[in-house]
């Protein structure tokens, strides 16, 4: 469904951020993209959704195709109409609007009233808490409820591809598990998912395929179970020795100095 091929991105005509990355999201699958802060995950999302221009970024090489058509130069609205929907990091709900109004905004590009009604019913079935708080002001929802609202708003356009940027960020473990289960349910209903995360355990537990980024490059990809068994993934993302013992953050940092993935 989505293919990114040999993509390079430069900011302000000077800073090379993405260095020839490639990834694919097959139809009906969940694909996880892992990486630490500064790895290039957000820039990858901006390139896919068309938001690079807002941040003085340009694609200087490579292409992005969706359903077999080149969308590299399309504006963000056209990509939304094609069926790409993004939940940004930090939720970014419209805090002064009600839950219902937030959902209506999400359906703005969906001109079919029957489809909008079906999407709303789907969202409220997925998120019973939102159904109970339809008239509540979004800014007064809990962090977990706001994340549900952000995902629900993105689903209102009935997307083919849902892109989630750090959906577990700042959530308690029980809420992370709830969000994970919701992602699986959304995918089971036919929506492909690109999941961007630092939480390797959560992302790789539900993904069909995984990619790992470092400093603007794809340094590893493959079956999620295989990635979780990899010693570098265990050490850097899970903080584990080869013996399985927990490391301190200071102990883990020496991984960067080794840079085995980049050799």
Q: What was the pLDDT predicted at 257? A: 42
Beta bridge partners of 32: 195, 210
Return the DSSP state at 64: E
pTM above 0.85, yes or no: yes
Final residue in a domain of this structure, among 117, 137, 158 = 158
Q: Pick the closest to residue 256 from 243, 230, 242, 237 (CA basis).
A: 237
Do 209 and 236 lie in one domain? The reply is no
Q: What was the pLDDT predicted at 199? A: 86
Q: What was the pLDDT predicted at 112? A: 78
Do 254 and 127 lie in one domain? The reply is no
CATH number of domain containing 21: 3.40.50.300
Task: State the chain's mean pLDDT as an integer.
Answer: 87
Candidate from 22-26, 101-105, 218-222, 247-251 with smallest mean pLDDT: 247-251
Q: How many domains does the chain have?
A: 3
Measured CA angle at 108 (ends 104, 111), to 5 deg? 110
Task: Tell me the CA distances in angstroms from 209 to 29, 62, 180, 256, one per residue in order.
Answer: 8, 22, 16, 24
Q: What was the pLDDT predicted at 113? A: 83
Do 163 and 146 lie in one domain? The reply is no
Do 53 and 165 lie in one domain? The reply is yes
Segment 64-80, tens digit of pLDDT: 999 999 999 999 999 99
Domain that holds residue 47: 1-83+159-224
């Amino acid at each position: 469904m989505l293919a990114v091929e040999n993509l390079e991105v430069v900011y302000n005509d000077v800073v090379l951020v993405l260095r020839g990355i490639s990834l694919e999201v097959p139809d009906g699958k969940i694909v996880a993209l892992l990486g630490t802060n500064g790895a290039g995950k957000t820039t990858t999302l901006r390139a896919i959704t068309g938001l690079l221009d807002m941040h003085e970024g340009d694609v200087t090489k490579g292409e992005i195709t969706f359903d077999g058509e080149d969308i590299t130069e399309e504006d963000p609205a056209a990509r939304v109409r094609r069926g790409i929907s993004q939940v940004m990091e930090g939720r970014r709900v419209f805090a002064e609007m009600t839950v219902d109004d937030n959902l209506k905004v999400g359906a703005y590009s969906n001109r079919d009233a029957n489809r909008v009604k079906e999407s709303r019913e789907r969202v409220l079935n997925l998120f019973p808490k939102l159904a109970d708080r339809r008239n509540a002001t979004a800014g007064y929802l809990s962090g977990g409820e706001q994340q549900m609202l952000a995902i629900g708003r993105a689903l209102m356009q009935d997307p083919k591809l849902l892109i989630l940027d750090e959906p577990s960020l700042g959530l308690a473990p029980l809420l992370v598990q709830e969000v994970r289960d919701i992602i699986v349910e959304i995918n089971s209903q036919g929506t492909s998912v690109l999941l961007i995360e630092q939480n390797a355990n959560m992302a790789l537990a539900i993904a069909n395929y995984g990619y790992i980024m470092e400093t603007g490059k794809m340094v590893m990809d493959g079956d999620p179970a295989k990635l979780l068994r990899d010693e570098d993934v265990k050490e850097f993302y899970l903080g584990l020795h080869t013996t399985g013992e927990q490391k301190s953050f200071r102990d883990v940092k020496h991984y960067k100095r080794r840079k085995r993935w980049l050799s």
